[in-house]
Structure 1
Amino acid sequence: MRKNLLMKILTPDTKLHLWIISFLVIIIAYYNRIIGIFGLLLVAYLIYHNIKIQYDRKQLWTKYVEDLSSDMDSVTRHAILNSPTPLTVVEFDGEIIWYNKNFSNMFKCDDLLEKNIENIIPDFKLDHVLREKEKYNKVIIEDRCYNLLYNIVKTDKEHDRRYIIMLYWVDVTDYNNLMEVYYNEKPSVLIIEVDNYDDVLNNVNEENKPLMIAEIDRRINLWCSKMNGIVQKYQKDKYIVFMERQNVDTLEARKFTILDEIREIEAGNTIPVTLSIGVGLRGKTFTETREYARAALDLALGRGGDQAVVKREDLIEFYGGKTKAVEKRNKVKARVIAHALRQLIDEAKEVVIMGHKFPDMDSLGAAVGVYRAAKNRGKDAYIVFNKSNAGIKILHDELVESNNYNFITNDQLLDMVSKDTLIVVVDTHRPSFTQCPEVLLKSNKIVLIDHHRRGAEFIDNTVLKYLEPYASSTCELVTEILQYMNDKINIGKLDAESLLAGITVDTKNFTFKTGVRTFEAASYLRRAGADTTNVKQFFQDDLNTFVARAEVVKNARDIGRQIALSICPRDIQDPALVAAQAADELLNIKGIIASFVLGYRGDDEIIISGRSLGDINVQVILEKLGGGGHLTVAGAQLSQVNLEQAIEKLEESIDQYFEEGEDE
C-alpha cells in the first residue's frame, strides 16, 4: 500500500503541475505585483486550456465507445442471423418469438412466429429440455438428429423484464451415422461347441459317422456364411467364428436359429445334436472380446448347453436353453473330481461345507455327504447351518441327536476360517445365495458342487468346480464322488439316507429329471444301508401344513396356456414349503403342464415356486425375475413388491417366454 501511494505521488499529473505553478506565481506576486499579475493571467489560461482539453478528450472517448458498441451490435446481429447453427428464442410456454434462417430451413417453412415449438416438433417437450443440465440429446427432425443446448436469458427492458429461452440446435446426424457404422463393423467373436459330440457319434452306425460329422460342419459353415462370418474349426467339436457386430444383432433378433437347425440333423442318431454358443462383444481389444466369448461359452455349458449366451462387458443375455440337459453317461469327470477333492481335503487345515439360504433336503444331504468324505480323510469338518425349516426339520433333528455332525453358525464360521480352510459350497453357485457370502472372501480354497443351470452371478474364485446341470440333484453328484473317494463303501446309514432324501426330493420320487446315473447313485446308497421307509418319514408333514397345501391347491386357477396359478395365505407357517409342495400337487391336475405358487416371506418379500412337466421351462421364466433352477423346478424371490405386483411381473415373464418361443 505504501509503495502504491508513493508511485501515485511521483506520477506526473497536470493538476499537480498547475497547483505548483500557482503557488510559485503567488510567491512571485508577493515580491513583484506586475509580474505576479501577468503570471496569474497565464495560470488562468493554462487552467482553462486544461479543462477544455479534458472535455474534448472525454467527448472523443464517448463517441469512440458508442461507435464501437454500435459496430459490435451490428456484428452480433449479423452473426446470429447468419449463424450456421439453427437458433430459436421461445417463451417458457414454448411460443416462438424469434428464429434465424437456418432454423426455418429445418422445416422448410418461413412462418413459425408465435407458434408453439411443441406443436411443430413431434414428441418434443420443452420441460424435458429444461430438466437437463446442459443438453437434451437426440431430437429427431426431418430425419436429422440434433443435440439441443439452451440458455435462459433475462431481458433488460425496464417495464417488461422477463425470462426467455435461447435454443441452439447442433446437427450431429453425420457424427451419429459415423458412430453407427463404427459400432456395426466392430469385430465380434463367437465360440461354438457341440455339447454331446461323442455321445451322438457313439449312437450312430459306423458308416454314418462321416455323414454326421460332415453335416454338422456344413450347417455351421452355411449359417456363418449367411452372416458374412469367418469360421475355423480348431478341435473336433469346437469352432471359432469372427463376424461384424451388426450381424450378431441379426442373430439375436432371430434367436440364434442355428440351435434349432442343428437339432434337426438326422443320420441314424437317436440323440439330437445340440450346440452351445458363446458370443463376445464390445471388448476394448480383440483379446478381451475373445475372453468375453469364452466366459459366455462357459456360462452356456454351465446352464446345460443347447443355447447361446451373449456377453457385453457386464451385460449378459441368454437365448435358447429350453430343452433338457442331456445326461452324460461317462463317469470319468466324476472320478477326476473325486481325486482332486480328496487331494484338496488332505492339504486343508479344516473343511467347511456350506449350502444355500433356507436349505432344503438336497442342500443338507449334499453337505452331509461332503462332511463324511472329509471325516473319512481324518479332517475336522463343519456344516454351516443357521436356521432350520419345516422341510428339513425331521432330518436335521436326527443329525443333531446322533452327535456325529458339527453344525456351526455364521458368527462361529467367521471367527475360525482362515486362508488354509477348504470351503465346499453345495447346491448353489450364487455368492449371495450362500449361507455366509462374507466367508467366500476370506479363503483361497473354494470348491463348488452344484446341479443348477448357471446364472450370471457366479462364484468365480474356485479351485475346483463341479457344475453339471444334467444331474438330478447335488446329492447325486456327491454320491458319485463318494464312490471314487475310497475303494470301499465307508459311509454311515444316516449319511446314505440323507443323500437319498436329497435325490428323492429333487426328482419328485424319481419321476422328474431322472436318468440312469440317478438310479445307480440310489442303488449305491441302498447298498450303504439307506432305508427307504426312514427316508419317506423325513417328508412327513403335520396336519396344519397338509391342510394349508390342500387349501392352496383348492384356490388354484388356470391362467391359460395350461398353466395353474395359486396363492399361499399370509398367515400360514412355512410358506416356502407349502408353496413348493402345492406347485408339485398342481401338476397332478389333468390339462396342467406347469404351475406357479406365490407366498409371503416376511413383510416385504414374495416367494414363487414354479414346476413343469417339461414342456414349459420354468427356469427361464423365473430367471427373468432374478430366480433360477431347472427346466422343471425353479424358484424366485421378489423384494419390495406387493402380491399384485408380483403376479403382474410373473405374468409378464410368462408372456415374454411364449413370445420368444413363437419368434423362434
Structure 2
Amino acid sequence: MNLKQKIILYSLIAVAGVFLAVGSVILYFTRSDIYSSIFGIFGICLSLIIVGLFGILSVKSFLSTQAIVKKSFNSFIDEIISHNAIGVLIFDSEGQILWTSKFIKNRFGRKWVGSKLTDFFKKFNINFDSNNISFDFNYKDFSYTVNIWPLENCLSIKDNTLEQRTLQLYEDELTVLGEIEIDNYQLYQSILSEEQLYNVTKEVVTVLDNLVCDYNLVYRQYNTNGKFLIVTNKQALDKMSQVNFKFFDDLHKTLKSQNIIISVSAGFAYGTKNLWEKMEQAKNALLQAQSRGGDQVAIFSRNNLPRYFGSTSEILPNINRARIKALANWIEKKLLDPKIKRVIAYGHAHADLDAIGSALGVYAIAKTFDKEAYICTMTQDVTTKKAIAKYFGEDNPIFIKAHQANTLTDENTLVFLVDNSAPNRTDNPKCVEKAKNTNIFILDHHRLNSSVDFCSKINRHIEPSASSASEIVTELMMFLEKQVKVKKNIAQMLLNGIYLDTLQFQKHVTSRTFEAASWLKNRGADSTESSNSLKIDATTYEKVDQVLKNLEEVKPGFYLAYKDIPLSNDVISIAAEEILRISGRKASFVVAKSEDKKSYKLSARGIDTNVQIICEAVGGGGHFGTAAAVSKEDLLTFVDNIKQAIVSVKNESNID
C-alpha cells in the first residue's frame, strides 16, 4: 500500500470513528436504561481512540512526506549549487557558522560548523570584515569570489578559476605591435664607415635574434634607416617588462671599443582589435620614447597609462638641422597667411630666463611679419623678474595676463608653448581652448612625460638634445627666409636663457649651441651681461647655505637637502647645482617651499645620471640631467617619497 492509499484509509477510519462517536452520544442521551448508557460511553471512548489514533497516523504520514520532500529538495538545491561551483555558508549574528553546503565541505573541510567566520577566512590569510560585502581570494590553485548578505546571515563562495584563467589566457594572447629604431642612425650614416654602420645594425639584429629564441616574437627590418617591426603578444611583453628590457642596455657596450655607443628606442602598443590603430599607437609610442631623449621603451595601451623603461644614457645630440629648417618654413608660411592676426607665446609658470627668453624670440619673429604679439606670463623667479625690469621696464604691454590672453585668443591666433609642452604648466591652463590645433606650436627641449594630443605633429619640435628652448628659437630665426629684426634686449634675453640652461656652457652644449650664441652676439648680446645675470647676491647665498645645512646622502652619490622655508625656483635650482660642485657626486635633490607657500618644489640635477625618471616617480619631469617636481603634500611626506624614488629607481646612471 502506497503512502497516498494509507492516508485515504486512515482518513476513512477516522471519519468512521467520528460517526461512531456521534451515534454513541445520541444513544447515550436518548435512552435512559443502563445498558444503553454503558454502550454509549463505550462507543464514545472507542471512537475517540479510533479518531485520535488514525488522526495521528494521518498527520505522521503527511509530515513524513513533507520531510522527505524538503530533504530531497534541499539536497537537490545543494547538489545544483555545488555543481555550479557555488558554496553557501550560514552564520548567526555573532558571526558563528551554523551550516555549510556540500561545496564548502568538499573544498574547505567539514569541521567549520560552530567556528567563527574570522577563523574560517584566517586560513586563507584574509582579515575578514563584514562591511566588505564582496572580495576575491586564492586557495590551492583555485580563485574564489565571496559575496556576503549580512541581513540574511549568509554568504556565497563561487569558484571563478575558469573565468580568471580564460581572461588571463585572452590577455596573454593579445597581439602586440612594436617599432624599434636605432637612435642617431641618420647621424651614424653621415659619420661612420659602411663597415661600422653594418656592425651597428648587426649588433641590434643579434639582440633581436636572441629575443626570438627567448620570447614569443618575430621581427622584420622594414627600411634601411634602422627601423624594425615587432609582432609579439602580451605575455611576452610582460616578461620583457619584468626584466626592464635590460637586453637593450647591453647594446651600449658592444661597440664601445670603437667609440660607438649603440642605443635603441622602442614603442609597443596593445589593447585594440584594429591593427591599423595599433600600429599608429606603436608609432606614437616610439615617437614618445624619442621625444623623452631616446634609449628607452614606451608601452601604450588604450586601457592603461603609458609605461616607460630604460633611459640609462643620453643619446648623441642630433646635428641634423632638417627638422628645424622644415619647421621654420612651416611657421613662416603660417605667419604669411593674412588670416593670422596675432601671436601669443607662453613659457612655463614661475618662468625662468630660458622660458622668457624663448618667448621673446617668438615675439620678435611675429613682429617681423607685422603681427600683434604678446607674452602671457604672471609668475617668474627672482632672477627673471630682475632681468625683465632691467631690459623692458615695469608694466611693459608685451607681457599680458591670462584673462587678457583668453580674450585675444581665437581661430586666427597662433599659440606657442615654449620651454614646456603642456597647457597646465603655463600661467594659463586654458591657453589652447579657443585656438585651432593647427595653430598651436610647441618648442621645447624637455623630455615628454605625457602624450601631446592638442596640436598636430608637424607643429611640435621637442628636442631633448638641445641645450635650451632659447637655442631652438634662435635656430628658427636663423633659418627663416625673412630676416628677423632682433632688438638687442631680446637677443640678450635669449643668450641669458642659453647661459642659464647650460650652466654657462658647462653642460648640454653642442656645436649648435655655440652657433646660436654666436648669432645672438652678432646682434648685440653680451656674454658678460649673461654671466652677471646669473650671479647671486649675499642674501641668496645665505639662503642656499641654509638649505644645504642638512644635506644627506640617500645612496652612494645621490644627495638630498630640504628646508621648510619659502624660496624662489631659481634659488632652489642654484642649491641643487651647488651640491654637484664636489667631485664624486652623481645627483642632487633640493626641496623647499614655493614662494606662494601653497606647495613644495623639488629641483634635481644629475651628472651622467637620469634624474628625470626619479622626478617622474613623484609627479614631475624634465630633462635627463635637469628635472623638477611640485607637490602639495606635507614636507616630510614629499621628502619620504623622493627618498623612496631615489632608492627604488634602478640604472639611473650611465657611468660604468
For the superposition of Structure 1 and Structure 2, which TM-score range results when normalised by the shorter chain? 0.7 to 0.9
Distance 1:272 1:199 in 2: 12
Deviation of the 1:542 alpha carbon = 4.0
Deviation of the 1:105 alpha carbon = 1.1
Q: 1:414 aligns with which of 406, 416, 425?
A: 406
Q: 1:140 aligns with which of 116, 138, 141?
A: 138
Q: Which one-letter code corresponds to 2:519 in the other structure? A: Y
Distance 1:310 1:661 in 2: 22
Deviation of the 1:67 alpha carbon = 9.0
Is 2:454 aligned against 1:465?
no
Change (3 A) 1:296 1:457: closer
Change (3 A) 1:67 1:414: farther
Distance 1:393 1:218 in 2: 54
Contact 1:431 1:457 in 2 (8 A): no
In the other structure, the counterpart of 1:645 is 637
Q: 1:483 aligns with which of 460, 472, 478?
A: 478
Q: 1:167 aligns with which of 147, 155, 168?
A: 155
Q: 2:70 aligns with which of 54, 69, 73?
A: 73
Q: 1:400 aligns with which of 378, 383, 392?
A: 392
In the other structure, the counterpart of 1:196 is 184
Change (3 A) 1:606 1:205: same
Distance 1:653 1:243 in 2: 31
Q: 1:354 aligns with which of 346, 349, 360?
A: 346
In the other structure, the counterpart of 2:312 is 322
User: Mean alpha-carbon deviation: is it higher for 649-658 or for 489-498?
Assistant: 489-498
Is 2:270 aligned against 1:286?
no
Q: What is the TM-score with the length of structure 1 in the denominator?
A: 0.83
Distance 1:654 1:323 in 2: 17
Distance 1:210 1:557 in 2: 47
Change (3 A) 1:416 1:66: farther
Change (3 A) 1:451 1:153: closer
In the other structure, the counterpart of 1:8 is none
Matches within 5 A, 1:145-160: 145-152=143-150
Contact 2:604 2:628 in 1 (8 A): yes
Matches within 5 A, 1:217-366: 217-236=205-224, 237-266=226-255, 269-313=258-302, 314-347=304-337, 348-366=340-358
Distance 2:634 2:278 in 1: 41
Change (3 A) 1:460 1:482: same
Deviation of the 1:540 alpha carbon = 4.0
Deviation of the 1:623 alpha carbon = 0.8
For structure 2, the residue ranges without an aligned partner over 5 or more in a row are: 1-58
Q: 1:605 aligns with which of 576, 592, 599?
A: 599
Change (3 A) 1:354 1:80: same
Change (3 A) 1:64 1:193: farther
User: Mean alpha-carbon deviation: is it higher for 412-421 or for 268-277?
Assistant: 268-277
Contact 2:423 2:431 in 1 (8 A): no
Deviation of the 1:489 alpha carbon = 6.4
- 1:89 is paired with a residue of what secondary structure? strand
Q: Which one-letter code corresponds to 2:570 in the other structure? A: L
- 1:636 is paired with a residue of what secondary structure? strand
Contact 2:421 2:442 in 1 (8 A): yes
1:618-646 per-position Cα deviation (integer Å, ceiling 9, x unaligned): 1110011111111211110011x111101
Deviation of the 1:148 alpha carbon = 1.7
Computed over aligned residues only, the root mean square deviation of the Cα atoms, in angstroms, reads 2.8
In the other structure, the counterpart of 1:206 is 194
Q: 1:452 aligns with which of 436, 446, 449?
A: 446
Report how many aligned residue pairs link the two structures: 586
Q: Which one-letter code corresponds to 1:431 in the other structure? A: P
Deviation of the 1:608 alpha carbon = 0.5
For structure 1, the residue ranges without an aligned partner over 5 or more in a row are: 1-61, 155-164
Q: Which one-letter code corresponds to 2:375 in the other structure? A: I
Q: Which one-letter code corresponds to 1:481 in the other structure? A: L
In the other structure, the counterpart of 1:89 is 90
Matches within 5 A, 1:490-505: 490-505=485-500
1:227-261 per-position Cα deviation (integer Å, ceiling 9, x unaligned): 12121222122111111110000100111123223
Distance 1:461 1:68 in 2: 79
Matches within 5 A, 1:18-33: none
Q: Which one-letter code corresponds to 1:315 in the other structure? A: L
In the other structure, the counterpart of 2:571 is 578
Q: What is the TM-score with the length of structure 2 in the denominator?
A: 0.83
Is 2:379 aligned against 1:379?
no
Deviation of the 1:226 alpha carbon = 2.6
Contact 1:96 1:116 in 2 (8 A): yes
Q: 1:656 aligns with which of 644, 648, 656?
A: 648
Distance 2:191 2:93 in 1: 75
Distance 2:322 2:577 in 1: 34
Contact 1:430 1:459 in 2 (8 A): no
Deviation of the 1:316 alpha carbon = 0.9
- 1:131 is paired with a residue of what secondary structure? coil
Contact 1:619 1:631 in 2 (8 A): yes
Change (3 A) 1:177 1:660: farther
1:190-225 per-position Cα deviation (integer Å, ceiling 9, x unaligned): 111112112223333334433443343333233234
Contact 1:204 1:267 in 2 (8 A): no
User: Mean alpha-carbon deviation: is it higher for 122-131 or for 357-366?
Assistant: 122-131
Contact 1:472 1:507 in 2 (8 A): yes
Q: 1:618 aligns with which of 611, 618, 621?
A: 611
Change (3 A) 1:324 1:254: same
In the other structure, the counterpart of 2:582 is 589
Deviation of the 1:509 alpha carbon = 0.9
- 1:276 is paired with a residue of what secondary structure? strand
1:58-105 per-position Cα deviation (integer Å, ceiling 9, x unaligned): xxxx99998996576334432344341322222344432211232111
- 2:113 is paired with a residue of what secondary structure? coil
Distance 2:553 2:644 in 1: 16
Deviation of the 1:279 alpha carbon = 0.8
Distance 2:454 2:112 in 1: 61
In the other structure, the counterpart of 1:114 is 114
Deviation of the 1:349 alpha carbon = 1.2
Q: Which one-letter code corresponds to 2:446 in the other structure? A: H
Deviation of the 1:487 alpha carbon = 6.1
